[in-house]
Amino acid sequence: MKLSNRVNSLTESQTLAMAKKSRELQAQGIDIISLSIGEPDFNTPDFIKEAAKKAIDENYTHYTPVPGFLELREAIAIKLKRDNNLDFKAANIVVSTGAKQSLANVFLSLIDEGDEVIVPTPYWVSYSDQIKLAGGTVKYIHTSVDNDFKFTAQEFQESISSKTKMIIFSSPCNPTGSLYSKEELGAIANVLANYPNIYCVSDEIYELINFAGRHESIAQFEKIKDQVVVVNGVSKGFAMTGWRIGYIAAALPIAQACEKMQGQFTSGTCSVAQRASIAAMLAEPSVTYTMREAFKKRRDLVLNLLAEIKGLKCNIPQGAFYVFPDITSFFGKSYNGTVVKNSYDMSMYLLNEAHVAVVAGEAFGDNNCIRLSYATSDDKLIEAIKRLKSALEKLN
């Protein structure tokens, strides 16, 4: 069967692939602890579920406007002003079936064949393939654990060419948990201001899982506001992964373009999930702090346990719920016929030897690391890292 070159060139999401392998082994009766998937282990707050039940009772069961219910877009505008001091109107906001679709809409609306998009590594797994699907070319800025996996304004400046159309990054970052300060974002904004035809996509989906203080958005700098597309949603901060609600806030022509694009793919997203998300957006951020504090305690637990494993090198994540340890000290080592040459080899070795699922760093553009999610219970984290320690100590 002849499939399209487009789909043949597309790589499978390795986070989803590892989750699939874990389920297959679990079906065989093997006790797998999965640290691979980026999903909060909390349930959606009750007040949001009640809003969904009310929506069903009130018969919000019909097609919705392509960019989302006006009430939800107005609620998002209120949230952006209240929490981030960003001035957007409902017309600047497009609600989609998850932040992943929001990103796809932006890429398809702004990128032409041959346009360059600057992507600092490590990056979220889908950025690169979505950019390529839109016809763009990815130009990477490589970072490392030694600089907290963050790129600088100078590196951004040096990466710009006549073909540069966009830069995209996340803060807090998936997979590293790194967080950009207002000063760091201001320096990046100063570079961007010199290039009015370059757009910045700011992925802020982990905004509410921030251990360092107030979340900072690059959209706050007025001189570049029309160049910035803010991407966010309810999945991570409100434990609403299955509800599939994401959104963008952008200059009106970009929002209109994304609405036009979405109109040819999915139209408006789920009516009940949108009504529930109104309650989430209008709630004070403090309703999520219990989850945030739980993640912070788990981060500290995981970092303390990983520090006992000789050869791993970690930064201190300031947000999200991942650690991204450097594993290069194990390259070239082997056990029982298995040689670890890269992050994929390491992820498969740990799955088969330790029965712990992690994600290879190559999926995020950094083959020197692996990603561990600590969005699970303390008991599972303690047991998982105990297994990792035992398996890694066997390598020689």
How does pLDDT run across 165-196, given as a tens digit for each residue?
Answer: 999 999 999 999 999 999 999 999 999 999 99
The residue with tokens 């001091």 is 85
* pLDDT recorded at residue 4: 94
Confidence of residue 321 (pLDDT cuts 50, 70, 90): very high
| Domains contained in the chain, CATH given | 5-43+288-394 (3.90.1150.10), 47-284 (3.40.640.10)
* pLDDT recorded at residue 14: 75
pLDDT higher than 90, residue 22? no
pLDDT higher than 90, residue 26? no
* pLDDT recorded at residue 37: 85
Q: Sign (positive/negative) of CA torsion 140, 141, 146, 149? A: negative
pLDDT higher than 80, residue 48? yes
* pLDDT recorded at residue 15: 76
Average pLDDT over residues 69-97: 98
* pLDDT recorded at residue 207: 98
Average pLDDT over residues 87-116: 98
* pLDDT recorded at residue 23: 86
pLDDT higher than 90, residue 329? yes
* pLDDT recorded at residue 265: 97
Three-class DSSP labels, the chain:
CCCCHHHHCCCCCHHHHHHHHHHHHHHCCCCCEECCCCCCCCCCCHHHHHHHHHHHHCCCCCCCCCCCCHHHHHHHHHHHHHHHCCCCCHHHEEEECCHHHHHHHHHHHHCCCCCEEEEEECCCCHHHHHHHHCCCEEEEEECCHHHCCCCCHHHHHHHCCCCEEEEEEECCCCCCCCCCCHHHHHHHHHHHCCCCCCEEEEECCCCCCECCCCCCCHHHCHHHHHHEEEEEECCCCCCCHHHCCEEEECCHHHHHHHHHHHHCCCCCCCHHHHHHHHHHHHCCHHHHHHHHHHHHHHHHHHHHHHCCCCCCECCCCCECCEECCECHHHCCCEECCEECCCHHHHHHHHHHHHCEECEEHHHHCCCCEEEEECCCCHHHHHHHHHHHHHHHHHCC
Long-range contacts of 124-130 (CB under 8 A, 24+ apart): 124/170, 124/174, 124/175, 124/203, 124/364, 125/13, 125/14, 125/15, 125/363, 125/364, 126/13, 126/100, 127/103, 127/168, 128/365, 129/10, 129/11, 130/103, 130/104
Confidence of residue 21 (pLDDT cuts 50, 70, 90): confident
- In percent, the amount of the chain with pLDDT more than 90 equals 94
pLDDT higher than 90, residue 38? no
pLDDT higher than 90, residue 18? no
Confidence of residue 20 (pLDDT cuts 50, 70, 90): confident
* pLDDT recorded at residue 11: 82
pLDDT higher than 80, residue 164? yes
- In percent, the amount of the chain with pLDDT more than 70 equals 100
Among 23-27, 320-324, 353-357, 370-374, the range scoring the smallest mean pLDDT is 23-27
pTM of the model: 0.96
Among 8-12, 128-132, 374-378, the range scoring the smallest mean pLDDT is 8-12
